[in-house]
Structure 1
Amino acid sequence: MLSMTHPAVMQYVHELPIGLLPLMFKGDSLPRLVVKANKELILAAKLKKKFSVHLVPYDLYGVNSVGFIAAFFDDERHPLILGGALVKELFAYEFCQVFLSREVNIHFFDELGREVLGYRAQLASSGAHRSLLQDAVMPSVVGLNQSAILNFLTEWFSCSGQSDDDRAIKVDLLEPLYPEDIVFADMRDESHQYHGSPSVSHFELEREEPGVFQEQEIIALLQRTFAAEEIYHSPKRYYDREEVADILVVTPKNVFIVQAKDSPNLERVVNQSIDRKKSTALKALRKGAAQVKGAALYLGRKKPAVFLMGDDEVKVDLEGRGLYGLVVMKELFNDSYDEYTPVLFDVYESKGVPTIALSYSELHQYTRFLHGDEAFLEAFMKVFEWGRESGIFPRLRVMAPGSVVNEDPPMPAKR
């Protein structure tokens, strides 16, 4: 495993929010490619044993170069994608070498930086790919609007057709570099400091019962932004020991009610139609919103609010604290926000609790770059207030401090 044979590389893996990372080691016969992504994309790669890489020219804000979109086929018509610009300081020339290689070792990591799968892979590129990359001028990261480029690449892919698929670089995953059914155990003290934590947690890619796995992973993300002692896992009502919420985050200024909504990460779920996945997501969101309402009602019954952690009674004075709801979903679909928005607004209108939904991958991006209560709440309320004003919630792209974000460029015409 790359994380064991080359532990120094883990700094770069953890710094990569999500996407692809090429690696070259002296003495290696093959270049390597890190794919950092969510568990659904990784499982799709494991099941399908293939993915494609599209090289996409762009001309934006005076920068004329090439970006890429990697497509992973959980659904042939609506694959999961990762993309980005080829940037001089961010391994652009190593990317070119990897994309034009005949064989590469590929290592899959999840958002928490855990190495899940590895394969020897075969790539099928063409002379056209070689010419495009050799002729491209790789821009500097300084002043580069990577957000606009990613918007362009994503829109380009949504408009692409069969001819574009035929021209993509084909990647076939030939043989595992290590067993595909690894179970990971985390025994680090720093991972288990929150209230209600076990002493050891474990993780596996394929899971029939996702609940506890997802909740622990959400807590791992939240601990990047909030102190461990502010996080309560599965607090219980004092009178019947039923769960108040999946997670409560209690800071000096605010309380966040967090509900986790996932589904099994199995082949049968990966192979569901996109319409079935959308329907499942909407049902899960409705349930999560109802649970936020129930938690808000319970917390408001007594002053101060009371809940149990094991046999210990915890009291929280809500006076002067903001109360917010967050539903963390397995996935959300851009063309379904007209259905999501009324469900979330209803929580605010009925209980006075501003509530938004984030996919797990979005929460990863938020907590990767937002540190502390104020920064997280600022992004949270930007989404909520935009939704109140426009009538539909946006998806906020959270990027590294100092990133350039200008108005969106013109998008390509649909084909």
Structure 2
Amino acid sequence: MTAFFDDLEEPLVLRTPLSNDEFTRDLLQVLSEPSFDIHIFDEHDRELLGFRANNRNFAHLRSLLNTAQFPTVTVDLACQFDDQLRTWFGDRSPTDDASACTITLHEELFPPNPILWRPNPGDLSEQDIAGVMQRPFSRDHVYLNPTRADNAREFVDVLVATDKTLLLVQAKDSPNTEAALTRTIHRKQATAVQHIKKASAQLRGSIRHLQSADLIEIVASGERLKLSALDREVFGLVIVRELFDPERPVYSSLFFGVLDDTDIPCLLLDYAELLELAFFRPSEDGFVDALWRVFTVACEQGVFPRSRAWPQASPSLPQLTIGTGHLLQDQETREPSRTDSRGGSVPDRLVVIDRADVDAHDVSSTATVLSRVLANRETIEQFRGRVELVFEGYSDDPREPYEIPEVRRFCAKLDETFPFWFYFLSTDGMALGMIACCLCSVTKIRPGVVSFGPDLLKFMVRHFRAMNWLFDNFSLDEEHNVEISAEVTEYFRSI
């Protein structure tokens, strides 16, 4: 653990899990010397600072490190170390501080790089982000400060445009000056909130302009470019210099409004998270996959998480294979019912929706039946994943349920009363896919296969929030929340 006490309450801390490897052995050798030189580079390999360090505790460190044992570290173990280091540093005692080894940077090897001081950080920060984006994307696909062709106003701070992907990036940063760095932590947190509010409004405007026509024109690097969101994955990104973990629920509540207004997946990252993402996913497909994963977790939890590990797999939501309502298996031919916690058989609840109710746009009977599963906590848990829906009276209709306007209107009205599909509908059946198709815009590819419009994302956010409401208000087991969220995400990712 290395701490630079530029701020006594919130020092800059570097956490470095050490393992039995060559890096650790080299580091131990350096720390065993009475003096050594330190050169500090940034993420773009620009040398910023150089110091000669005085290590007056070298004898103690040499003795300590010679007796230390280091494990072979896996990624999972390194993450556990990192979590423990965060907790330990916050809970450390005066005795821990007294036993720490102090290394003094006492002699500059050369003048500091002028880019360190940024009284007006906007341009340099945007250049840095554009540089980071050139790791997963080709340089030719990354545009800095493109403007709208119709009024010459800036479109976004950074644009990434490929044949498959559009990333609209808004960036916010604080001045890198002594006055800014010595602000209190509360002042820094308040500044981050203001940055997110402003960047969210700008991103909302950029997305709306993109959605205003099938084809828009922008000017980038002196050239006119035509942009279309059709047949592309579109993301909005807001990048700020620093996010504070305790304030993430506040940040997220501000930022989810952009998604609600635009139906475009939007992500909130700090600069360090963006760097990590680009470093560990240095290809377009890998980078976009990771964006989907972060966005999906944010929708499930209602909060943008602190991103650290970047899994290889990721959600992809281009198509969903579904079945028609009248092909739903009869209850007698289904798989045997699951058992409850007492070991007894629990029958699935088959909710049959009559065509007369659909034609009359009357959801009262169906809503009454569904409301019974909300009677109390025991009933809610009993019917978790055990409800099925079927529309009766359409066996002679060749259309899929989502192609029938009356069914779509009925489902939309029913959803206003009962939005708890993710909790109660089985991911082994077809009703969840049918509900999603009826509540979202879809294009039929072939019988049983559709392509969703961008409002699928809004659908998922709304219904994850509805499920979270159940868990909060009925004190349900949070482990089941995690389990269901994973099942639903996998359902929309894979079928």
Q: TM-score over 0.5 for the alignment?
A: yes
What is aligned with 1:91?
23
Instruction: Please point out which of 369, 377, 383 is paired with 2:288.
Output: 377
Give the Å deviation of 1:82.
0.8
Instruction: Please point out which of 319, 322, 328 is paired with 2:239.
Output: 328
Q: Give the letter for the 1:159 counterpart.
A: D
Matched, 1:313 2:228: no
Q: Give the letter for the 2:97 counterpart.
A: D
* Mapping of residues 140-289 of structure 1, within 5 Å: 140-141=72-73, 145-180=77-112, 182-183=113-114, 204-289=115-200
Instruction: Please point out which of 130, 137, 147 is paired with 2:69.
Output: 137
What is aligned with 1:115?
47
Partner deviation per Cα, 1:339-383 (whole Å, 9 max, x = no partner): 111112111001112111111121111111102222112211222
Matched, 1:81 2:13: yes
Give the Å deviation of 1:391.
1.6
Give the Å deviation of 1:168.
1.1
Q: Give the letter for the 2:88 counterpart.
A: W
- Structure-2 separation of matches of 1:154 and 1:274: 17
- Structure-2 separation of matches of 1:110 and 1:126: 27
Percent of pairs with identical residues:
34
Gaps of 5+ in 2: 313-495
Give the Å deviation of 1:310.
5.3
Give the Å deviation of 1:128.
5.7
- Structure-2 separation of matches of 1:350 and 1:317: 19
* Mapping of residues 331-410 of structure 1, within 5 Å: 331-398=242-309
- Structure-2 separation of matches of 1:319 and 1:142: 42
Higher strand share: 1
SS at match of 2:213: coil
Change (3 A) 1:349 1:72: same
Q: Check conservation: 1:299, 1:306, Cα contact below 8 A.
A: no
- Structure-2 separation of matches of 1:341 and 1:144: 27
Instruction: Please point out which of 205, 208, 214 is paired with 1:294.
Output: 205
Give the Å deviation of 1:85.
2.0
- Structure-2 separation of matches of 1:337 and 1:143: 25
Which 10-residue stretch deviates more, 135-144 or 315-324? 135-144
Q: Give the letter for the 1:253 counterpart.
A: K
- Structure-1 separation of matches of 2:126 and 2:197: 18
Change (3 A) 1:342 1:104: same
SS at match of 1:245: coil
Q: Give the letter for the 2:138 counterpart.
A: A
Q: Check conservation: 1:236, 1:243, Cα contact below 8 A.
A: yes
Partner deviation per Cα, 1:371-412 (whole Å, 9 max, x = no partner): 2222112211222111111121111214698xxxxxxxxxxx
Q: Check conservation: 1:292, 1:325, Cα contact below 8 A.
A: yes
Q: Check conservation: 1:249, 1:256, Cα contact below 8 A.
A: yes
SS at match of 1:170: coil
- Structure-2 separation of matches of 1:333 and 1:164: 25
Partner deviation per Cα, 1:313-362 (whole Å, 9 max, x = no partner): 21122112122111111111111101111112111001112111111121
Give the Å deviation of 1:135.
1.7
Q: Give the letter for the 2:11 counterpart.
A: P
Give the Å deviation of 1:89.
1.9
Which 10-residue stretch deviates more, 79-88 or 223-232? 79-88
Give the Å deviation of 1:150.
1.7
Gaps of 5+ in 1: 1-68, 184-203, 402-415
What is aligned with 1:125?
57
What is aligned with 2:358?
none
Q: Check conservation: 2:38, 2:52, Cα contact below 8 A.
A: yes
Q: How many pairs are equivalent?
A: 312
Q: Give the letter for the 2:45 counterpart.
A: G
- Structure-2 separation of matches of 1:283 and 1:90: 44
Q: Give the letter for the 2:263 counterpart.
A: G
Give the Å deviation of 1:94.
2.5
